[in-house]
Structure 1
Amino acid sequence: MAEDTSTIEAEQGSATGPDEQASQPDLGDAGKRALQEERRKARDAAKRAADLEARLKDYEDRDKSEAEKTAERLADAEKRASAAEQRALRLEVAAAKGLTPGQAKRLVGATREELEADADDILATFPTAPAVPERKAPKPDPSQGSRGEAGKGGSVAAGMALYQQKHQKTTAT
């Protein structure tokens, strides 16, 4: 009976997390070693359980014939192909009807006709927002900017010549 209670106490101690251990009084070196040992045992048990599950799967598959394994793989592949075809059909109908991606997700039906009828119902109930007009770049305003005369030019040399003419007039007076 003493062994049973010590086992229960040890299991309860190993079930506490790091936060709970921080709030517990200091266990001392022996208590810490015992907790580490319990954690090691728990990790080993988890590893053993995963190994046993893998062995069980191998054991179950061993009894299956190659034809059964192939039939399972074929059924899985057909299921994935059917789901992909249904999704492609839903997207085709949504694109043809001009549904938004959010509306396309809500299409329900097994055949093209059912999907098209549902798309029409969605459009009637929740019309799409009007298309935003394309923004065009503004045209330049000729009344803004420099208004230099074509004959004088707008180069640095023309500006320097203008400055020298102006400067000579002020020095001459």
Structure 2
Amino acid sequence: MPETEANTTDSVETEAAETDATSELGDAGKAAIRKERESRQQLERQLRESKELSDTLAAKVQEFEDRDKSEAQKLTDQIAALQQQLADKDAEVAKATLVATKAEVARVKGVPANRLSGSTKEELEADADAYLTEVAQQRDSKPRKPPVTGLKSGASSSGDTSANPREAAAAALRRMRNGG
């Protein structure tokens, strides 16, 4: 129950109790009680008005603070957004620089760019050198096989080496079509 309704209910109950008491009092007592009631009602009105004024002032102060706060908050949000954009651009530039450096080192060293790892030119060059050393060791450690000779490409089983490659391919196609 709101405060004004509670005060009104209390006033009505108090007045009923005082009415019973005033029937025994004389004119002077009744006048004093009436004056006291009027004073109390006036004080209650002033208290309500004071509370309403206080609430209104508090709301205005809060509104003023929020208005200033929102402007400050807007600026803070804009600064944060700009800082994030700057960080994103810095990351993009760093990534592009790394890709370009990786391509340059790969070209100079003669290694695949996707094989290189590192975040600086020195690290990329060291990785390229390590890769070249590893490839050289693998090449040296494998036994070399002599090249195989006498092999032909295609599906020809005729053993006819006198035909040119086109004729051999055409003959192989005919055999496949004929099922044999």
- What TM-score, normalized to structure 2? 0.32
Which structure has greater helix proportion? 2
Q: Which has the larger radius of gyration?
A: 2
- What TM-score, normalized to structure 1? 0.34
